[in-house]
Amino acid sequence: MPRKSTNGSDRARTLLAQEAARIIVEQGIQDYWIAKVKAAERLGMQDRGSLPGNSEIEQAVAEHLQLFGRESHLDLLAGLRHTAVTVMDMLSTFAPRLVGPVLSGTAAINSAINLHLFVDNPDAVALKLQEHNVSYRPFDRRLKSRRGQTETFAAFRFMQSEAPVEATVFPVDGVRQAPISPIDGKPMRRADRNTVMGLLEGPANSHSES
């Protein structure tokens, strides 16, 4: 009996992860928790203990993108990575690193290009964007550090080639230690410009960290 219950629970988690992935891809929802709650409501699953983890959701998103519209997804991913390189060139002064779905290969139609920049004064980023006549909106981003603490960083949101870009600013020494990923609880993968170019020249679904 316990085994049967466990199998049922695993099946429920899988179905929920698949539905959450569909919501993320089709509706452009970036928050995995919101997608999980929406999926649970649609499937009539009220037991929060059965909610899949973020890593399960990310895997389900990857599988959904592979199953539905693989070629169009690869084209989208390549376009976003090319745009990321353009922005990284524009902001090269700040040692930009690509992070998130565009790096991992799970970006959907509304996914933002997420960059980490490194400079002790965030105003320098604002000035650089102004130099390039880029209209931006500043905001605060909260991220977990390796010590389990939540820290707030200055960030800028703007558009490049019709793609949303979100650039988070870290102190110069922040390049040594990436914040914790909400997906798997490990330090976020970061890729410099050369690594992103390597992704564009190699298999479209691969990724590396820098």
Chain segment 28-55, per-residue pLDDT in tens? 777 778 888 888 888 887 665 667 888 8
Give yes or no: residues 91 and 116 share one domain.
yes
Regarding whether 81 and 60 lie in a shared domain, the answer is no
Sequence-ordered list of residues with C-beta below 8 angstroms from that of 36, at least 6 positions apart, any chain: 16, 20, 51, 52, 57
207 found inside a domain: no
Q: What does the pLDDT read at residue 203?
A: 56
Evaluate whether residue 44 is within a structural domain.
yes
Residue 5 has pLDDT above 70, yes or no: no
User: 133 is in which domain, residue-wise?
Assistant: 70-201
Per-residue model confidence as pLDDT tens digits over 154-206: 999 999 999 999 999 999 999 998 999 888 888 999 999 999 999 998 754 44
Q: Which of 20, 48, 67 represents a domain boundary (last residue)?
A: 67
Q: Do residues 115 and 146 share a domain?
A: yes
Note whether residue 208 is domain-resident: no
2-27 and 32-43 are packed helices; what angle lies between their axes, rounded to 10 degrees?
120
Considering 17, 52, 67, which residue would you say is the last residue of a domain?
Answer: 67
Specify whether 105 is located in the same domain as 21: no
pTM of the model: 0.78
Total structural domains in the chain?
A: 2
CA distance 134 to 126: 9
Q: What is the Cα–Cα distance from 46 to 56, expressed in whole angstroms? A: 18
Residue percentage of the chain with pLDDT more than 70: 88
List the structure tokens of 166: 């979100």
The answer to whether residues 23 and 118 belong to one domain is no
121: domain CATH number is 3.30.460.10
Q: What is the pLDDT of residues 139-154, one digit of tens each?
A: 999 998 876 789 999 9
Contact between residue 115 and residue 97 where contact means Cβ atoms under 8 Å apart:
yes
- Domain final residue, candidates 46, 67, 88: 67
34 and 97 inside one domain: no
51 and 14 housed in the same domain = yes
What integer pLDDT is reported at residue 1 of this predicted model? 40
